[in-house]
Structure 1
């Protein structure tokens, strides 16, 4: 088989050169389209289910949320195992699928099962899926430089402006906010006043929820002009919240301000984010979507940051604290320099040992063609160009050259013997 293949190649040299040129051109194209990252993604094929039920102890979360979800998710097809973790007010479930399962197929199966399981959970509890990223999806961290603005305002800028802008970047799965204070209205209710006015806590909650809402009316026409009737019920400041009427007793309205103290506050925090010991700060984490090109996504995020920065308040700017693109460039450049050095060394050694330029060229030309062709396979199997895959290519150069040297030296030896036999035969014929 090999002998026939070699014979066919020798008889069709131009065809072999054409195939080699096509492979080299396709390889160069694959190099440009190859996904670039610093490290390979070896994380498990998992889907995270997050459920929040604030104020409940870990045991209640385990019994009423985590256990029902785990028992139902274990029956999904192609699931290896299910892990769970219950903590104060939160439940995390990790559904591990087999490695050959498509990530988005797995997420759709989990969503289908959650739609039927949600009815067995307590009221107000709604499980959600985590981002479609992996364990190495955190590609960029940033903070906001805003010394003159308090942490509550910084968090509001992050949650309602910066986050929405960066989430539109292709390849970004999530922008996770951290630090600062999430603003909220706080009602400190006096129980003695509730008893005095004969008002229950449920009545207060219902009144606040009802008045913090939009209500639609109807449309009517007057003088060939259409008018839409609606009420603007969303609470905009503390004074509006204080003026909400809970009930009317003897034609006298009892308002929120009569039974409670209203003030601006923040949601409970489980920790803080400190930057270099200089105090608290606010920022975000860019999570890359599964299977994306890390280097390209980071560059797109930076370009988007430049656009978003134009709309920030005066004195507010971005500060990138972690950027994987630097590690990616260092890794790629290191492997690239190694490949160039290996090619140069191999070229010199081949010339010195063979002392035949045609044979040396036939061996050296295999190196760029083989390296370029290897990127075709990397893209075909959806493997990124990282420090591991490129190191494997660098190590394979020695094997490529060894095979070429052995084959070329063997062919050169047989041709020399054959050439010597022909010369001896011609010499004997001339003498006769």
Structure 2
């Protein structure tokens, strides 16, 4: 016993110590707390500053945008310390430059350096171009949950209306950063001008457009005081329906007002579609509880991103519970909701598998030590 080394002396001190069970118990509790408190993530939580720069140049071809706008800014951006990659794309009237910094660079400092470099070189902007727009990107911008609303009965417009109300409810949940609705058709007031009626009143489309812009305004007009009270005055009103828009005065002729309905037809409907979103039911739909035939149904998708550092599993579970609670209230009974992406669930599966293998490894090491070194 007198020939024990440093490790042996430590082991002898703890073998008979009454603090050993307490230390072991505290270590187990600390490990359990770490397992529960560590956020479960699908995407790697590494700091990789990435920024998009939008360079508008209306009326220009992609080649002009690339040569006169994108290329000069690329050369200046390469001067920034920490820039690793630059990607660019040009399209009619717009150039997009994506800047990626070295892994581990500070996000705020990288954004400030890039913003200062872009704004200090505004002299490179050719005549007719707009102001640059700098938009930072993050791994947390990736949606963790996607919900697809689809129905055999309701159209794209009705689906989007329900999706907007459902989005408002989802944003009330904790740690929700951003929501986005993809697909569907928004409500729109459409004004169809009649050329002959415009000519009879001596009006032009531009004059009617100016009247619409001025008439679709609500603002504070001042205040009056009476009886020790102040009353605020509001002037104007927004155009909310076809009847109200038709009563808008766009001009006057021979002392009589000319209404919008006199020179145009106003309809309250939906916008012209720019894209379509449909939901198709596959052969495995019945095994996942999805009802539907073989047709493609109108659909709208809601994507939700979480805040930085939040547990993706907990956030996704809370959002799914809120959706289930709104069925029969905001969501009609004939409208289906399908979870088309759930990074919280996949992150939980991977995390549970990792913990299981770690437990097996720890158990195997413990058994080997007990067999070859003794129980003590």
Q: Please report the TM-score for the alignment, with normalisation by the length of structure 1.
A: 0.65
Cα deviations by residue, 1:280-327 (Å, 9 ceiling, x for unpaired): 201211123344322122123224434555751543564322222332
As a proportion of its length, which structure holds more strand?
A: 2
Q: Quote the offset at 1:263 in angstroms.
A: 2.5
Alignment partner, residue 325 of structure 1: 344
Alignment partner, residue 319 of structure 2: 301
1:206 alignment partner, SS class? helix
Give the Cα separation in 2 of the matches to 1:289 and 1:9. 46
Q: Quote the offset at 1:175 in angstroms.
A: 1.0
Give the Cα separation in 2 of the matches to 1:229 and 1:154. 38
When structure 1 is superposed on structure 2, of 89-98 and 229-238 the one drifting more is 89-98
Give the Cα separation in 1 of the matches to 2:119 and 2:234. 34
Cα deviations by residue, 1:179-211 (Å, 9 ceiling, x for unpaired): 111222222334455455443333222111110
RMSD over aligned CA atoms reads 4.1
2:232 alignment partner, SS class? strand
Of residues 151, 154, 159, the one that matches 1:149 is 154
Give the Cα separation in 1 of the matches to 2:250 and 2:129. 24
Give the Cα separation in 2 of the matches to 1:125 and 1:262. 35
Give the Cα separation in 1 of the matches to 2:64 and 2:199. 31
Cα deviations by residue, 1:4-23 (Å, 9 ceiling, x for unpaired): 75365246435994766655
Of residues 113, 138, 141, the one that matches 2:143 is 138
Alignment partner, residue 36 of structure 2: 32
Give the Cα separation in 1 of the matches to 2:163 and 2:134. 22
- Number of residues paired by the alignment? 353
Q: Quote the offset at 1:264 in angstroms.
A: 3.6
Give the Cα separation in 1 of the matches to 2:26 and 2:88. 51
Of residues 172, 175, 179, the one that matches 1:171 is 175
Give the Cα separation in 2 of the matches to 1:286 and 1:185. 29
1:143 alignment partner, SS class? strand
Alignment partner, residue 337 of structure 1: 356
1:229 alignment partner, SS class? strand
Of residues 115, 127, 137, the one that matches 2:133 is 127
Q: Counterparts of 1:190-269 in structure 2 under 5 Å?
A: 190-191=194-195, 193-267=197-271, 269=273
The answer (yes or no) to whether the contact 1:175–1:287 under 8 Å persists in 2 is yes
Cα deviations by residue, 1:22-59 (Å, 9 ceiling, x for unpaired): 55443332222112134635784313346789998656
Distance 1:223 1:68, change over 3 A: farther
Q: Quote the offset at 1:156 in angstroms.
A: 2.8
Q: Quote the offset at 1:174 in angstroms.
A: 1.5
When structure 1 is superposed on structure 2, of 92-101 and 216-225 the one drifting more is 216-225
When structure 1 is superposed on structure 2, of 91-100 and 53-62 the one drifting more is 53-62
Cα deviations by residue, 1:406-428 (Å, 9 ceiling, x for unpaired): xxxxxxxxxxxxxxxxxxxxxxx
1:241 alignment partner, SS class? helix
Structure 2: 5+ residue stretches without partners: 281-294
Q: Please report the TM-score for the alignment, with normalisation by the length of structure 2.
A: 0.74
Alignment partner, residue 279 of structure 1: 297
